[in-house]
Amino acid sequence: MLKVEALSKHYGSKKVLSDVSFQINPGEVVGLVGENGAGKSTLLNILATLISPDKGNLSFDDHSYDSDLQKVRKKIGYIPQDIAVWEDFTVEENMVFFEQLSWKKKSKAELRQLCQNMKLEQWKEKTQSLSGGMKRKLNIAISLIHDPDILLLDEPTVGIDLKSRKEIGSYLHGLAKHEGKTVIYTSHDMEEILSFCDRVYCIGEDPFYKELLEENGKLVQVL
């Protein structure tokens, strides 16, 4: 279970997150919405241990972010908003590179299967020459190499075609429902949020998202 208590973060004089608290259970898919600059990426970055909050207690499965950092990191799969892959490597090389440095050993066949789950079939192709959507798929696949328990996805599906998007969505949904993973993701695609998320967190004062989602029968909590 992911627990966040009284989390605050500001950049300079700008308050981005103030006194945010929530809990997410294993097997839940939670959406994160809000306008540009609301603080979605900031929150995910904090959950991914990449930046530290000003205040607040975080823990995952009773491992505190402060004292058990490496244990927490081992469980985190973070998919950054900006595509983070080696452009001069092939898909295969990218997968092998991060597999070598990751927490879990995987065979090439397993790595390839992971790409196929993301609907990425180009295995030997240079990443440079992939389309934007294909790179996005690779970006997701790399983050799943070590079978993380908690998936933090920052706008993972931007630019991915509708068909693949649906398939990736239901794959991630399946990971949550069948393997008990915790999935948190941000998206500006309302339809995607509506069809895959169990609950939605809304960041920011603007009532627009809350009203829109509640009209469609979603459980919304404002952070």
Partner 1 sequence: MKSILMTRWMHWRKQWLSLIVWLLLPILATAVFITVADQWQEDTKIPIGLVVEDDSTMAEALVQSIGSTSLLQIERMDKNQALVKLEQHELDSVFVIEDGYQDNIKENNRNEVITAYSSDMSIAYMPAKETVASYVQQDAGSSKAALTIKEMVAEYDTEMTWTWEEIVETSNQIRKEQSLLHSSFSFYNQKNPIEGTKEISLWNIWGVWSLFAFFTTFFIFDWVIKEKQSRIKVRLSLLRFSFKAYLLKNWCIYLALFILFDLINASVLVVYFDQPVEGSQMLAMIGFRLTMCMAAFLFAQCFKTSFYYYIAVIPVTLFMAIIGGALIPIDGLSKDWSWITYLSPIQAFLEGNMVSGWMIVLLIIFFIWYWRKEKAYA
Ligand X SMILES: Nc1ncnc2c1ncn2[C@@H]1O[C@H](COP(=O)(O)OP(=O)(O)OP(=O)(O)O)[C@@H](O)[C@H]1O
The answer to the question of residue 41 lying near Mg ion (CB under 5 A) is: yes
Widest CA span in the chain:
50
Q: Which stretch binds partner 1 (CB under 8 A): 26-34, 69-77, 116-124, 187-195?
A: 69-77
The answer to the question of residue 90 lying near Mg ion (CB under 5 A) is: no
Nearer to ligand X, 38 or 120 (CB): 38
Near partner 1 in 143-182, by CB under 8 A: 143
Q: Site for ligand X (CB under 6 A): which residue of 7, 38, 134, 151?
A: 38
Q: How far is the CB of 115 from partner 1 (least distance, A)?
A: 16
The answer to the question of residue 42 lying near Mg ion (CB under 5 A) is: no
The structure tokens 């070598």 sit at 100
Distance (Å, rounded) from C-alpha 210 to C-alpha 214?
A: 6
Q: How far is the CB of 41 from ligand X (least distance, A)?
A: 3
Near partner 1 in 88-127, by CB under 8 A: 88-89, 93, 96-98, 100-103
Q: Site for ligand X (CB under 6 A): which residue of 6, 11, 88, 129?
A: 11
Q: How far is the CB of 181 from partner 1 (least distance, A)?
A: 16
DSSP assignment of the chain equals -EEEEEEEEEETTEEEEEEEEEEE-TT-EEEEE-STTSSHHHHHHHHTTSS--SEEEEEETTEETTT-HHHHHHHEEEE-SS--S-TTSBHHHHHHHHHHHSSS---HHHHHHHHHHTT----SSBGGGS-HHHHHHHHHHHHTTT--SEEEEESTTTT--HHHHHHHHHHHHHHHHHH--EEEEE-S-HHHHHHH-SEEEE-SS-THHHHHHHHTT-EEEE-
Q: Site for ligand X (CB under 6 A): which residue of 4, 16, 29, 47?
A: 16
Contacting positions for partner 1 (CB under 8 A)? 48-52, 65-66, 69, 73, 76, 78, 80, 82-86, 88-89, 93, 96-98, 100-103, 142-143
Contacting positions for ligand X (CB under 6 A)? 11, 16, 34, 36-42, 81
